[in-house]
Amino acid sequence: MKMKIAVLPGDGIGPEIIKVALDITKVVCEKFNHDLEYNTALVGACAIDATGNPYPESTHKLCMESDAVLFGAIGSPKYDNDPTAKVRPEQGLLAMRKQLGLYANIRPVTTFPSLIYKSPLRSELIDGADFMCIRELTGGLYFGRPQGRSEDGNTAYDTCVYSKYEIERIVKLAYEYALKRRKKVTVVDKANVLATSRLWREVAKEIALEYPDVETEFLFVDNAAMRMIQWPKDFDVMVTENMFGDILTDEGSVITGSLGMLPSASIGIHTSVFEPIHGSWPQAAGKDIANPLATVLSAAMMLEYAFGLKEEALIIREAVNASLDSCYVTQDIAKDNMPYYKTSEVGKWLIDYIKNK
């Protein structure tokens, strides 16, 4: 298979973790005789420094011409600590989502047996938890208009807006994923209070009729938040609006015990983007200490969902699990009084495992 990917390392630890994920992708493609073409472009603070634009036109052009995007992280103290900055790295991420039409963020929440002790939840609650959060990414409060403040500054307002079309496409996507999994969809809303949530529930009920083999349940967001902690193994595919999804997916990351382990995919109208859920951790940049596993697992998601290469994705996940079982990991997830390894060393271990598998 011929594959063309855009590689956007971004800021902070982004270049280091992306290098590991890209090297592993190359090895897998060599092993399975795929033709991989990749090109690198700027995004975030490094793009502002070079061009004045956090998502330059040249970067967008590359993304549009590629089959998938492998993305690291963005963010820099240089801009975070400057209240007068007119352009910020995070604007690059929003621009990329908007211009690529990335309307769905997909985050698998999976526990790793050797990391269960890292979770604040009891092991019997989370052992075997495996569900997928699908968050609508381009609507709701974050993009609704009008928004602003009163002239005296004492009142602020945001508007939550959703159209039927926006809800239909994200809910249908959730059902399609459920068909490939355990055939259960949980629609999360606040229909007892919000008009937009009532529209969400109305549309979801219509779509549920098209998928009679899939179990459907509706939960208010507060109840869903509690159940994620009480019975995380009860979920299969969860779908919800933008802000609820933002909060619930971060809650879900706690179940695994480490932000450094969770990949994600942003699916859209044009090219899909695959990235770890964590930030750029600028304090660690260049120190070769960042955990690359979430980015490596994002590369596995890219192979599976962008190219349909399930076996290739599986061998990457097997390698990650083997590194965890062997305790060949970075400091953040190393067990007490056990040795830990550099980012590049973990990458080499994973590559050797895949080559010898």
- Would residue 83 count as lying in a domain? yes
* Domain boundaries, position 155: 120-256
Question: What per-residue confidence (pLDDT) applies to 80?
Answer: 80
Predicted structure pTM score: 0.89
Per DSSP bridges, beta strands 184-189 and 272-276 are unpaired
d(CA 140, CA 334): 39
Q: Tally the domains of the chain.
A: 2
User: Of 256, 281, 302, which residue constitutes the final position of a domain?
Assistant: 256
Active-site residue list = 142, 190, 222, 246, 250
Tell me, yes or no, whether 128 and 248 share the same domain. Answer: yes
Q: What's the rounded mean pLDDT across residues 148-171?
A: 94
Cβ distance 73 to 10 under 8 Å? yes
The mean pLDDT value for 38-42 works out to 98
341: Cβ contacts below 8 Å, ≥ 6 apart: 328, 329, 330, 349
CB 163 within 8 A of CB 171: no
Q: What is the pLDDT of residues 101-149, one digit of tens each?
A: 999 999 999 888 888 888 888 889 999 899 999 999 989 998 888 889 8
Q: Are residues 348 and 277 in the same domain?
A: yes
- Cβ–Cβ < 8 Å for 285, 56: no
**55-81 mean pLDDT:** 95
**Model pLDDT, residue 337:** 86
pLDDT score of 30 more than 80: yes
Does residue 271 sit within a domain? yes
State which of 256, 274, 306 marks the end of a domain: 256
Backbone angles phi, psi at 93, to 5 degrees: -65, -45
Total H helices, total E strands in the chain: 14, 12
Distance in angstroms (rounded) separating the CA atoms of residues 85 and 36? 39
CA distance 98 to 193: 29
Look at residue 92 and tell me if it is in a domain: yes
Q: Residue 115: how many CB atoms within 10 A of its CB?
A: 18
The answer to whether position 334 is within a domain reads yes
- Whether residues 225 and 303 share a domain: the answer is no
Same domain, 18 and 75: yes
Q: What is the pLDDT of residues 294-335, one digit of tens each?
A: 999 999 999 999 999 999 999 999 999 999 999 999 998 888
Do 252 and 140 share a structural domain?
A: yes
| 245 and 274 housed in the same domain | no
Spatial separation of the C-alpha atoms in residues 4 and 305, rounded to whole Å? 14
We report the CATH number of the domain holding residue 178 as 3.40.718.10
Cβ atoms of residues 55 and 99 within 8 Å: yes
Q: Among 256, 288, 318, where does a domain finish?
A: 256
Percent of residues, the chain, with pLDDT higher than 70: 100
Task: Tell whether the model's pLDDT for residue 180 goes beyond 80.
Answer: yes
Q: Do 148 and 232 belong together in one domain?
A: yes
Mean pLDDT comparison of 95-99, 159-163, 266-270, highest-scoring range? 159-163
